[in-house]
Every structure is written in C-alpha cells, then in structure tokens.
Amino acid sequence: MAELQNAGNSRQQINSDSLGHHRWTTTSTSENIFLFVPNLIGYGRVLSVVTSLYFMPLHPRTCILFYGLSCILDAFDGAAARRFDQSTQFGAVLDMIIDRCTTSCLLVFLASVFPAWSMVFQCLISLDLASHYAHMYATLAMGTTGQSHKEIDENRPKVLRIYYSNPKVLFTVCAFNELFFIALYLLSFSFQSPTLDGNLLFRQANDMETATYKNTPTSSRDSIAPWSAAAMEVARANKVDSTGPWILLALSTVFMVFKQYVNVIQLIEATKWLATGDLNSRKKARLSRNQKLD
C-alpha cells in the first residue's frame, strides 16, 4: 500500500513537471501558506483598510475606528508568526504591501484636503514606497538565502540596526508615525481646521462657508451627490473637537520625522548595496571575458 502511494506521488510529481510546474514535496503539499494565521490576520487588515477608505471622506470617527483596527492587527501578525512558527517570505511581503498601501491612501486624502501641502504628501508617499521597495529588493538580491529584510548587518548604519532589530522601537515609531497622519486627518474635520495658504501658515477656516451651509435648505443639501467633492465639504462642516488631534500631532511629530529620516537612510543604503553588487558582477564578467580571450 505504501509503495502504491509512493508511486502515485511520483506520478503526480512527473505530471506536474511535464506541465512546467514547480516540483512539490510532500511537506509543501501538506501546508497552505495562504492560510497561515499571520496571513489571515493580514487579510483582515485589508478588509479593515478598505472599510476605512469607504468612510474616509464623510465619517471620520468610523474611518478611524477601522483604520486603527488595521494598525492594531499589524502588531499581532508578527507575534502570530513567531508563536505558530509560520514566518514566511509571502507574509513579510504581504505585511509590507499592506503597510505601504494603507499609509499611501491616507496621504492621498490629506493631499486633497490640504492642497497647499499636496506636494509634501506626494513626496512622502514616493519616499516611503521607494525606500521600502529598494530595501526589500536589495535584501532579496544581495542578501543571503532566506534573509529577512529586518536582518541588518553590522556594517550598515546604526539607525537601521536599532530600527529593525528592536521590535519595541519598530512598533513605537510606526505607530506614532501613523498617529501623526491620523491627527492631520482629524484636524481636517475639526473646529479649527488647519487650512494652509501659499505661505504654509495656519489660518482659521472660513466660518462663512459653514454658516452658508447651515442656511441652505434641506432639499438642496439632499441633492448633493454623496461621492462628490461637495459632499466631502459638507461632511467637513460637521466639525469634531480639535483638542485630541492637536495633542496627538504634538506627541507624534518627532517620531514621524525620525521615520522619514530612516526612510532616507534606508533608500541610500539599499541603492549603495545594489550598486556594489553591480560592480562585483561587472568585474566578474570582465575577468570571465579575459580568461576566454587568453
């Protein structure tokens, strides 16, 4: 019976190879990477983020509830991976993709409600995506087999080693970085919305616009399309208290600046690492050509 089973497995491997598929071992077929606990948590984060995006233009409290839930779940997927011995490259990439997309979506919204600062938010999105992509790619291309992007060599900058090697530092910096942008988001709905002029100075929101809306007949309000820019302005007229967001902004600014500094260092180091690999490859190629000529 065991021989028949082994023969069946062999036929299955041969058929798979004939179709151009990768050869699967018995161990690989007994596990489904996509259903690992940390990856399931990642899928839950995706649902939370999509839900928060739906409420983002009109309902700040509900949006923050689901956005915050995604951030909280982010703290559990790594712990689950260690607890169940389910650390995978797919999970690491999934986690990074969710992090980058989540922050980018929030920054896109901030660019729309603070147009004078839109270029700043666009630069932050570009820096975040570029630095993490370059770092991940450099680790996969230049690092040892199976090396995690969080494994930083001793010859790399100390700030990267501190950031990635200490889970508490990593969690704190990332959490407060998100809180900074969440605070800005809430301030766009607050009584003292920090509308920025061309000189990048804070000025008070136009109270007359709010008064005009209050005097607008109900029928006119109801005629506003819920997906339009006008609907977003109407929602922002329903203000929330600004005390909490200002406190969060003050507490998280230093962490946000530090996070952007890490992104810059990470991008520079990744490009230097890749360039070193290119130089070594070109040197080997020249030596190989010279040997063939000899």
Q: Label residue 146 by pLDDT band (50, 70, 90).
A: low
Is a pLDDT exceeding 80 seen at residue 194?
Answer: no
State which amino acid sits at residue 61. R
User: Quick check: is 222 catalytic?
Assistant: no
Strands 195-196 vs 202-203: parallel, antiparallel or unpaired: antiparallel
pLDDT above 80: residue 235 = no
195 or 260, higher pLDDT: 260
204 pLDDT tier (thresholds 50, 70, 90): very low
> What average pLDDT does range 23-40 have in this prediction?
75
Overall average pLDDT of the 112-125 stretch: 95
Question: Is 48 exposed, middle or buried, given 0-12, 13-18 or 19+ CB atoms closer than 10 A?
Answer: buried
- Lowest pLDDT segment from 71-80, 85-94, 103-112, 231-240: 231-240
Q: What is the pLDDT of residue 290?
A: 80
Residue 147 has pLDDT above 80, yes or no: no
* pLDDT 10s digits, 35-86: 999 999 999 999 999 999 999 988 898 999 999 999 999 989 888 998 999 9
| Predicted local confidence at residue 25, as pLDDT | 44
**What is the reported pLDDT for 156?**
85
Q: Is it the case that residue 256 has pLDDT exceeding 50? A: yes
Cα-based distances in Å from 13 to 3, 4, 27, 31, 276: 15, 14, 13, 17, 40
Catalytic-role residue among 74, 77, 95, 99:
99
User: Residue 78: its pLDDT value, please?
Assistant: 85
Kindly state the tokens that stand for 259.
């996070």
Segment 141-169 mean pLDDT: 83
- Asked if the model's pLDDT at residue 210 lies above 70, the reply is no
Q: Quick one: average pLDDT of 90-113?
A: 94
What is 33-206+224-289's CATH topology? Four Helix Bundle (Hemerythrin (Met), subunit A) (1.20.120)
Looking at residue 224, its pLDDT comes to 64
Complete DSSP assignment for 234-293:
HHHHS-B-SHHHHHHHHHHHHHHHHHHHHHHHHHHHHHHHHHHHHHHHHHHHHHHHHHHH
The whole-number pLDDT of residue 27 equals 46
Rounded CA separation 135/138 (Å)? 5
Q: CB-based burial of residue 243 (10 Å sphere; 0-12 exposed, 13-18 middle, 19+ buried)?
A: exposed
Instruction: Note the pTM of the prediction, 2 decimals.
Output: 0.75
